[in-house]
Structure 1
Amino acid sequence: MKIIHLTASYKPAYIYGGPIQSVAKLCEAATKIIDESKEKGNFDLQVLTTTANGDQELNVSPGKPVLIDGVSVTYFKRLTKDHSHFSPQLLRELKNILQAVKEKNIVHIHGWWNLVSVLSCWVVKWYNIPVVLSPRGMLTAYTQNNRNSFAKRILHYFIGKRLLQYCHIHATSDQEKDDIQKIINPKSITVIPNLVNFQASAASSKTMNFDNDPAVFRLIFLSRIEEKKGLELLFEALSLLNINWQLTVAGSGKKEYVDYLKIKASDFNISRHINWIGQVENKDKYRIIAQHDLLVLTSFNENFANVVIESLSVGTPVLISDQVGLSDYVTSQKLGWVTTLNVNAIKETLLIAFSQKEKREMIKASAPEIIRKDFNDDVLANRYLELYKQLI
């Protein structure tokens, strides 16, 4: 069986956030299982991707397969930048692979609304090969009506809709599944959570420069800084609090939007409470999260949100919006607080989280073990491999 993963970007293009981590983690865990199984030799997993790295290109040799943490990855040059990623060389290589071996192939495409995903899906459909599509949050009412909405509607009407009906959809949460089914009726839809890194691969001595006042409620936002993350709502809610709080904003985004948020913080008179630390390296991330009392994510839409699992893996409770895919999980496991996207609701939920110090301590003690059990790499990777076998 040849398993081909197609994605517009792959690590080390960490600028694209959580999906980079999830796709790579899946490929690494599946490759490990294949290598250690009795069926080694009957499986061949490879990744086709582009050199995309935001406005820049990755420093790699295009067209030559390389091993990235045990996974065979081939990067191809792109002719267009974000968010189209047009790469004729990638499409040509995909066609050559499918022509060479037409039986027992399966293609897993990650993401949508880019020319790697859409055109690759068209090529695979032409050869009548099964397609698993992980939209990665790209098939929701929010994303359809947000950025480049007119172009998306045109693409969906003329090409996308028929391609999506050919696919077996993979959703990362029940919420994402519900969102997808409002837009398209695929061949099938299966819910399997993301694989998530729990700990940094290297030790780090980086720490935050906090004072030692235990009365300070230390909050952290760690994600790509963009409109859908709801930071404006969070800032307004924080401006209404009468407690001693500090917010760390970790992540990068377009300079114009980050500058706009800093102006908003000034308008709300909360600038002195916010520490902007920029992009955080993986080796520093977990230590920094663990130094805070609460991770906050008041997003308008998140199909999953890896950072929620990352935070809980080091015992830091979470406060998230009900539009985050993991909100049901957080509620059922009692690992944090869930709020609606209303400023007063966010404010009140923050105050509840602040007042329930005993609950935060209980989460700190119990969450790491719960996360390691519920998001075990081998268990989840085997579910993906079983899905591939069933579809073939």
Structure 2
Amino acid sequence: MGPVSRKKVRILTFVSYYLPGYKAGGPLRTLANMAENLGDSFEFWIVTRDRDQGESQAFDSVCINQWQEIANAHVYYISPERCGIQNIAEIISSTDHDLIYLNSFFDPTFTLKPLLALKFLLASYKPIILAPRGEFSEGALIIKPFKKKLYIKLISRFYKGVKFQVSSNYEKSDTLRTLPWLQEKDTYIAIDLAEKPTATLPMSTTRTFSTEQSIRLIFLSRICKMKNLDYALSVLSKVTSQICLDIYGPQEEPDYWSECEVLIRDLPANIQVNYCGNVMPEHVKPTFAAYDLFFFPTKGENYGHVIAESISVGTPVLLSDQTPWRDLENEGLGWDYPLDDPLQFARAIERFASIPVEERKLRRDLVYKKAVEKLSDQSAIESNKQLFLSVLKNGKP
């Protein structure tokens, strides 16, 4: 059955983790937002693990190894023993689809195995789109660099004919630099879709605005080298103002978290740091609303959903320049600086701490208004629609 007789384009999607999971961060949220915003023209049929990242037990709220409707998508939660190439090939060949959508370059299970199934088991002849999700940023590639270079060298032939989705010109440059065999015409820019902003500025019912002498900072992300918490702590060691930093997120790399704990113990007395555990998705925005500033010196984001969530409740952001969120000071949303100058981050925090409380409140309103304007931009939705329609029009790989 083709897309015309079915009326909606059916996109068979592979991703490591999906709802109700949340620990893997951006990719699953991007897909959930795509399913919500593009449902008038597209159907997302998503194949994913039957558990959240780092968990040994399957979700107890879903059916395993069968299709079911979850929110605005159809989802197949696959058990570990069914993740072989043959089983994946069976899912592909038995599921009517118009496009195949992959959400990682380096994922051996949910990218390489589908590609092998398509090449050797002739599971499908449909076009393939791959979204690397920031994996080719400089910050990402310096983590396990030899392994990644070897992987690219050994398996690049299996990516022949695959079209690439990038979320910005920055990611496009990163991708073309990393994959010299990839042609520019085979890359499509379509920004990741954020959750729609709330109609009014939400404030935490427990919020107590910081005093003139102190500010409350939040770091909310997966705790791993890529997200650069150790850098944030090193910056705070150079700050003389009274600061409280609360850290939220799963401890994805325990050894790395141990290194961060050492840095925390060595901080001066004016810096208070607390680890507050995980935050469920529905609590992320109210949590952000309780803080003065989101400090996120990440080594690389192809989008950064947590950034959108922070500004959507009026909380300004202090970021590295390794995300698509640039020129933030001129936009009134915060600041973005290069990672090679930690003192610039420290000075920004000092300046922010000197702003009177009432002025900080007024700035929150301005951040929220600008965020609503930015996150409600229909051009992002349109670029995602055109991504799939253009690849579909241009035919199979």
TM-score, normalising length from structure 2?
Answer: 0.83
Q: Give the distance between the partners of 1:208 and 1:112, measured in 2 at CA.
A: 42
Q: Which residue among 172, 177, 186 is the counterpart of 2:172? A: 177
Distance 2:207 2:289 in 1: 14
Return the letter of the residue paired with 1:289: F
User: d(CA) in 2 for partners of 1:293 and 1:144?
Assistant: 32
Alpha-carbon distance in structure 2 between the residues aligned to 1:132 and 1:153:
22
Structure 1, unpaired ranges of 5+: 35-42
Give the secondary structure class of the aligned counterpart of 1:368: helix
Q: Deviations over 1:87-124 (max 9, x none)?
A: 65333211333xx67xxx11111122112112223444
Tell me the CA shift for residue 73 of structure 1: 0.8
Counterpart selection for 2:242 from 222, 231, 244: 244
Q: SS state of the match for residue 49, structure 1?
A: strand
The correspondence for 1:120, drawn from 110, 114, 119, is 114
- Match of 1:337, as an amino acid? W
CA-CA distance at 1:368 after TM superposition: 2.5
**What is the deviation of 1:270?**
5.3
Change (3 A) 1:350 1:271: closer
Q: Is the 8 A contact 2:248 2:276 kept in 1?
A: yes
2:178 aligned counterpart, secondary structure: coil
Cα distance change of structure 1 residues 205 and 376 upon mapping to structure 2, 3 Å threshold: closer
Deviations 1:46-83 (A, max 9, x none): 11222142232333322211111121111111249xxx
* Cα-to-partner distance string for 1:247-273 (whole Å, 9 max, x where unaligned): 111111133332331121112345960
Aligned-CA RMSD value? 2.9
Partner of 1:132: 129
Relative distance call for 1:385 and 1:123 in structure 2 (3 A) is: farther
* SS at 1:113 equivalent: coil
**Deviation of 1:227 (Å):** 1.1
1 CA distance for matches of 2:203 and 2:133? 33
CA contact (8 A) 2:204 2:289 kept: no
Provide closer, same or farther for how the CA distance between residues 164 and 87 of structure 1 changes in structure 2, counting only shifts above 3 A: closer
Q: Counterpart in 2 of 1:267?
A: 266
Distance of 1:132 and 1:22 partners within structure 2: 15
Contact persistence 1:171–1:192 (CA under 8 A): yes
Quote the Cα distance in structure 1 between the aligned partners of 2:218 and 2:247.
Answer: 6
254-263 vs 118-127, which deviates more? 118-127
Q: Tell me by how many angstroms 1:211 deviates.
A: 8.2
SS in 2 for 1:166: coil
Offset of residue 200 of structure 1: 8.5
1:386 matches 2:380: no
Q: Percent identity, please.
A: 22
Say which is worse superposed, 258-267 or 376-385, in terms of deviation.
Answer: 376-385
CA contact (8 A) 2:11 2:43 kept: yes
1:65 aligns with 2:67: yes
Checking the alignment, whether the CA contact within 8 Å between 1:249 and 1:275 is kept in structure 2 is yes
Structure 1 residues 3, 273: closer, same or farther in 2, change over 3 A?
A: same
* Equivalence for 2:31: 23
Classify the secondary structure of the residue corresponding to 1:16.
coil
Residues 70, 162 of structure 1: alpha-carbon distance in 2 compared, 3 angstrom cutoff: same
Correspondence list, 1:129-208, <5 A: 129-147=126-144, 149-159=145-155, 161-184=156-179, 185-186=182-183, 187-198=185-196
Please give the residue correspondences for 1:214-253 in structure 2 after superposition, counting only pairs within 5 Å.
214-253=212-251
The answer to whether the Cα contact below 8 Å between 2:43 and 2:73 also exists between their aligned partners in 1 is no
Code of the aligned partner of 1:306: H
Shift of 1:192: 2.0
CA 244–272 in structure 1, closer or farther in 2 if over 3 Å, else same: closer
1:11 aligns with 2:19: yes
1:37 matched residue in structure 2: none
Contact 1:198 1:310 in 2 (8 A): no
Q: Is the 8 A contact 1:46 1:71 kept in 2?
A: yes
Whole-angstrom CA distance in 2 between matches of 1:209 and 1:386:
42
Judge which range, 47-56 or 20-29, deviates more: 47-56
Q: d(CA) in 2 for partners of 1:163 and 1:146?
A: 23
Give 1:76's aligned amino acid. I
Query: CA 1:314–1:298 in 2, change beyond 3 Å: closer, same or farther?
Result: same
Query: Counterparts of 1:214 and 1:262 in 2: how far apart (Å)?
Result: 28
Q: CA deviation at 1:377?
A: 7.8
- Paired amino acid for 1:24: A
Question: What is the deviation of 1:356?
Answer: 4.8
Cα distance between partner residues in 2 of 1:240 and 1:332:
26
**Counterpart-to-counterpart distance in 2, 1:247 and 1:50:** 34
Number of equivalenced pairs: 369
Where does structure 2 lack aligned partners over 5 or more consecutive residues? 4-9, 393-397
Letter of the structure 1 residue corresponding to residue 310 of structure 2: S
Report the Cα distance in structure 2 between the residues aligned to 1:122 and 1:346, rounded to whole angstroms. 45
Q: How many angstroms apart in 2 are the aligned matches of 1:74 and 1:207?
A: 38
Which residue does 1:94 correspond to in 2?
A: 92
Partner amino acid, structure 2, of 1:384: N
